[in-house]
Structure 1
């Protein structure tokens, strides 16, 4: 399907700007500069997010030090409520609480549950598996301190987009054998599920928002290839997925990650996991955090949040 016209117009404008003011290749730019640019762009594209969501910032302990988190509480939310522990995207290198603030507000407001966004450590300063360690530690903390944040420990889910979807899937596998911390759901939005470049979409979908160059840069800085714990990163290559929590896997039609997301949903089903796959064929990677670009984003967010609400009760 052709790209959503609103996104097509935005990307054409960005292309013209890039041609008029060219930047060096991304691997010649400091990560801090790329982070700042990404944050400014995504915050500007999410001004229309729901405002009737209270937020509270604090830290939780982790194996590498304190981890900043932000708790979202929509107006009128029950106490206790379901809780989504959320990990932002950005290739484990960029992204933060601000880039995904509008997206988390929509999920909290539309699903009527609390959301705890996790500002995990980023590569290259904190290479693999530190982001995954932080994600697991924050989720474990949420279970163990559910009463302090208005959450029902029997209704806790993990979720994330892109690299954050990878973190959510990884945590779901890390905890599937823990009888004291039973995840109710995993929300995987265009997730990274493999370190391999073998799918058709990884060979043909170079952009528009996630290019092969950027994806390779992310992987290089993360440093997970060949690591003894690479199974925590390449979740789609794990043999035994039985016992994982129910899942919703969302993919975008214009995205190099779409085939591995679909394949992961199918592999979960084959392992006996209640998994659903939904694709938005006209949308690009990263669409959830560009809420002001197209009405299709809010529509998708509402549909996704409805499934999250049904899963958490």
Structure 2
């Protein structure tokens, strides 16, 4: 299957507006400056019941973690809470890049969404982001009632590198005796620093996110190859028993497709109730970027329905 004309147009436009990562021409600071200099289209924010900005305690000796809380327009009293981690290869993006997606998730799933702005590499390499992810999750769990949510219905979610952090936060919660996590929503997660699956070859170039981009991201995040043996960086090697149920979305034309699906099989083998949905014709990042395309709308509805049902 090849990209449809509408997806080809979207992929080409996204590529033209993105820095040349993986060529060693740009460093992380220059890549962020490139993205910050783009003129963002004027789009009215999706209405929600409320948006709040917080600074929450980070890991011991580390800075506070900025978070943004979204309250859904229509929700039951004391709704579930989802802690969300944005993608961007551990290097790019932040609260603003995923603002529209978080607003959509809050309203469609009927949940409070807390989006965590973890430290970025290479300024703060592994395990900084993983530590921030768990610190934010722990704070939300400790303050769920005062935030107006249900502490017994707490989930983690993330896209791309944020999918890595979501499942790593769940692993840390299991290993550290809490908090209890009810569900994990992983959208085309970036999990395996080996970068050697079949989809890395099939989808190496031409679909916006390239194999070179992803390898560059891992080089920024990890200190050395030794970190690849740490499950907090590489959950593909973790013991997955006792993790919460999961929903994994993958995209056909994504270098990360195969590792997300392999992770789903490993979860099932470990006795974890897991749904895996491949969205044919789509590219990496589509669920938080291509809101106008029908496949994105279908994928988001499927994911948010699973989230609502699980919680």
TM-score, with length taken from structure 1? 0.90
Contact 1:103 1:291 in 2 (8 A): no
Q: What corresponds to 2:27 in structure 1?
A: 30
| Distance apart, 1:34 and its partner CA | 1.7
Q: How does 1:1-313 map to 2 (within 5 A)?
A: 1-13=1-13, 26-38=23-35, 44=41, 47=43, 50-63=46-59, 64-207=62-205, 208-224=207-223, 225-227=225-227, 230-238=230-238, 240-312=239-311
Structure 1 SS opposite 2:150: strand
| Distance apart, 1:185 and its partner CA | 0.2
**Paired positions, count:** 307
* Runs of at least 5 residues in structure 1 that lack an aligned partner in the other structure: none
292-301 vs 222-231, greater mean Cα deviation: 222-231
Structure 1 SS opposite 2:89: coil
- Tell me the distance in 2 between the aligned counterparts of 1:230 and 1:24: 25
For residues 248 and 35 of structure 1, do their structure 2 counterparts lie closer, same or farther at Cα, with a shift above 3 Å needed? same
| Distance apart, 1:229 and its partner CA | 6.7
- Tell me the distance in 2 between the aligned counterparts of 1:300 and 1:57: 28
| Distance apart, 1:29 and its partner CA | 1.6
For residues 34 and 190 of structure 1, do their structure 2 counterparts lie closer, same or farther at Cα, with a shift above 3 Å needed? same
Contact 2:21 2:216 in 1 (8 A): no
Specify which structure has the bigger relative contact order, considering alpha-carbon pairs within 8 angstroms and separated by 6 or more residues.
Answer: 1
Structure 2 SS opposite 1:148: coil
214-223 vs 164-173, greater mean Cα deviation: 214-223
For residues 301 and 14 of structure 1, do their structure 2 counterparts lie closer, same or farther at Cα, with a shift above 3 Å needed? closer
- Tell me the distance in 2 between the aligned counterparts of 1:24 and 1:221: 11
For residues 286 and 164 of structure 1, do their structure 2 counterparts lie closer, same or farther at Cα, with a shift above 3 Å needed? same
| Distance apart, 1:206 and its partner CA | 1.2
- Tell me the distance in 1 between the aligned counterparts of 2:231 and 2:304: 29
Contact 2:184 2:245 in 1 (8 A): yes
| Distance apart, 1:65 and its partner CA | 1.3
* Runs of at least 5 residues in structure 2 that lack an aligned partner in the other structure: none
Structure 2 SS opposite 1:110: helix
For residues 38 and 160 of structure 1, do their structure 2 counterparts lie closer, same or farther at Cα, with a shift above 3 Å needed? farther
- Tell me the distance in 1 between the aligned counterparts of 2:19 and 2:120: 26
Contact 1:87 1:168 in 2 (8 A): yes
46-55 vs 79-88, greater mean Cα deviation: 46-55
| Distance apart, 1:295 and its partner CA | 2.8
- Tell me the distance in 2 between the aligned counterparts of 1:123 and 1:200: 27
Structure 1 SS opposite 2:123: coil
Structure 1 SS opposite 2:76: coil
| Distance apart, 1:26 and its partner CA | 4.5
